[in-house]
């Protein structure tokens, strides 16, 4: 055989092998999570690392802590048993949907509101926390509520959050500055880059507790029901998460976790 023909034959052969190989293995994002965790008992949860009370990195222990984290641990135990492992991967409001779409994480439990827009991309568990949007300002600020946000005020919000969208609706005149994450948004508020910061009141409460010069302004002006996001096409895993959620609500575990993080709130 001539050299030219040999080279051609080899390329055809290797291309066919490549094609056959890729037929056998599904991409990570399309693998059935429920089947995988039955074999390897580990769930990858996307969580916040900069949100006090929900998901915050403890720099001493290098462990992430908060309500979302404890709920994820309880659900993991319920689904996989005592030996099941909950592994936490950091997400921000902006990165959480891309990370689940790529198959980097199995579920998002990260202060995430169930919204029509998001339901086009992911499925959600039943509601596990009821939040609502509010404002955080420096004590003594003339801003007492969303009605005080006018063309002369700048509001700080986080990219990829419902808060950034909602504020356009509730304060259309106000200028909006969107930051990458909550740590950056609060630093921007402290340095005077904005007059108020907006997100869910429970998140703002965490910041106000830690920084007594800041306070919440006005009542909540939206409903933000939190759900656990799971990729589309993962019905068995979604069902397992919903069942586990119902169980921890029934057996008191949910209430214990709620009281640990929100001792002064009635549920
Ligand atoms: N719950 C709102 C949202 O899902 C704000 C909190 C957040 O950015 O995660 O966008």
Domain count, the chain: 2
Start-to-end CA span in the chain (Å)? 80
SS3 1: coil
Long-range contacts of residues 216-220, Cβ cutoff 8 Å, at least 24 apart = 216/134, 216/135, 216/136, 217/134, 217/135, 217/136, 217/137, 217/141, 217/143, 217/144, 217/145, 217/148, 218/134, 218/135, 218/144, 218/145, 218/146, 218/147, 219/134, 219/145, 220/131, 220/132, 220/133, 220/134
Index of the ligand 1 atom closest to the CA of residue 182: 8
Predicted confidence at residue 238, as pLDDT, reads: 98
Ligand 1 pocket list (CB less than 6 A): 93, 110-113, 131, 158, 161-163, 199-200, 224
Q: Pocket of ligand 1, candidates 48, 49, 108, 224: which has the most ligand atoms within 8 Å of its Cβ, to mutate?
A: 224
Q: How far is the CA of 135 from the centre of ligand 1 (A)?
A: 13
Whether residue 215 is found in the same domain as residue 229: no
Whether residue 137 is found in the same domain as residue 208: yes
Distance between CA atoms of 258 and 243, rounded to whole angstroms?
A: 19
Whether residue 141 is found in the same domain as residue 62: no
Residue 66: in which H helix or E strand, if any? none
Q: Pocket of ligand 1, candidates 93, 157, 223: which has the most ligand atoms within 8 Å of its Cβ, to mutate?
A: 93
Q: How far is the CA of 236 from the centre of ligand 1 (A)?
A: 26
Whether residue 106 is found in the same domain as residue 175: no
Whether residue 107 is found in the same domain as residue 156: no
Kindly report the backbone phi and psi dihedral angles of residue 84, in degrees, each rounded to the nearest multiple of 5, phi listed first.
Answer: -65, 145
Nearest CA to ligand 1 atom 10: 161
Nearest CA to ligand 1 atom 6: 111
Index of the ligand 1 atom closest to the CA of residue 164: 10
> Partners of 55 in the beta sheet?
51
Residue 252 domain boundaries: 31-130+225-261
From first to last of its 267 residues, the chain has per-residue pLDDT tens of 554 555 454 454 444 444 444 444 456 678 999 999 999 999 999 999 999 999 999 999 999 999 999 999 999 999 999 999 999 999 999 999 999 999 999 999 999 999 999 999 999 999 999 999 999 999 999 999 999 999 999 999 999 999 999 999 999 999 999 999 999 999 999 999 999 999 999 999 999 999 999 999 999 999 999 999 999 999 999 999 999 999 999 999 999 999 999 998 877
Distance between CA atoms of 94 and 158, rounded to whole angstroms?
A: 8
Q: How far is the CA of 92 from the centre of ligand 1 (A)?
A: 9
Residue 164 near residue 186 (C-beta atoms within 8 A): no
Q: How far is CA 48 from CA 44, 64, 104, 254, in A?
A: 13, 8, 15, 19
Q: What is the CATH number of the domain that holds 62?
A: 3.40.190.10
Predicted confidence at residue 69, as pLDDT, reads: 98
- Nearest C-alpha neighbor of 227 from the set 77, 62, 116: 116
Distance between CA atoms of 165 and 117, rounded to whole angstroms?
A: 11
Predicted confidence at residue 31, as pLDDT, reads: 92
Index of the ligand 1 atom closest to the CA of residue 96: 9
Whether residue 143 is found in the same domain as residue 203: yes
């Amino acid at each position: 055989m001539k050299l030219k023909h040999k080279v051609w034959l080899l390329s055809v052969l290797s291309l066919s092998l490549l094609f056959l190989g890729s037929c056998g293995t599904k991409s990570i994002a399309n693998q059935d999570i429920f089947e995988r965790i039955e074999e390897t008992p580990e769930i990858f949860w996307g969580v916040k690392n900069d949100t006090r009370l929900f998901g915050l990195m403890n720099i001493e222990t290098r462990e992430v802590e908060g309500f979302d984290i404890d709920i994820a641990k309880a659900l993991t135990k319920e689904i996989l048993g005592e030996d099941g492992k909950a592994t936490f991967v950091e997400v921000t409001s902006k990165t959480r949907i891309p990370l689940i779409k790529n198959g980097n994480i199995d579920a998002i439990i990260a202060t995430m509101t169930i919204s029509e827009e998001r339901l086009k991309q992911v499925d959600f568990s039943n509601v596990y926390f009821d939040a609502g949007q509010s404002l955080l300002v420096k004590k003594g600020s003339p801003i007492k509520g969303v009605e005080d946000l006018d063309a002369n005020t700048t509001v700080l919000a986080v990219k990829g959050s419902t808060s950034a969208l909602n504020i356009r609706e509730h304060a259309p005149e106000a200028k909006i500055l969107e930051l990458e994450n909550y740590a950056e948004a609060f630093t921007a508020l402290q340095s005077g880059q904005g007059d108020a910061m907006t997100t869910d009141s429970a998140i703002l409460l965490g910041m106000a507790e830690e920084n007594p010069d800041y306070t919440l302004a006005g009542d909540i002006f939206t409903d933000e029901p939190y759900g656990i996001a799971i990729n589309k096409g993962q019905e068995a895993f979604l069902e397992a998460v919903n069942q586990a959620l119902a169980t921890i609500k029934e057996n008191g575990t949910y209430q214990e976790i709620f009281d640990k993080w929100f001792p002064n709130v009635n549920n």
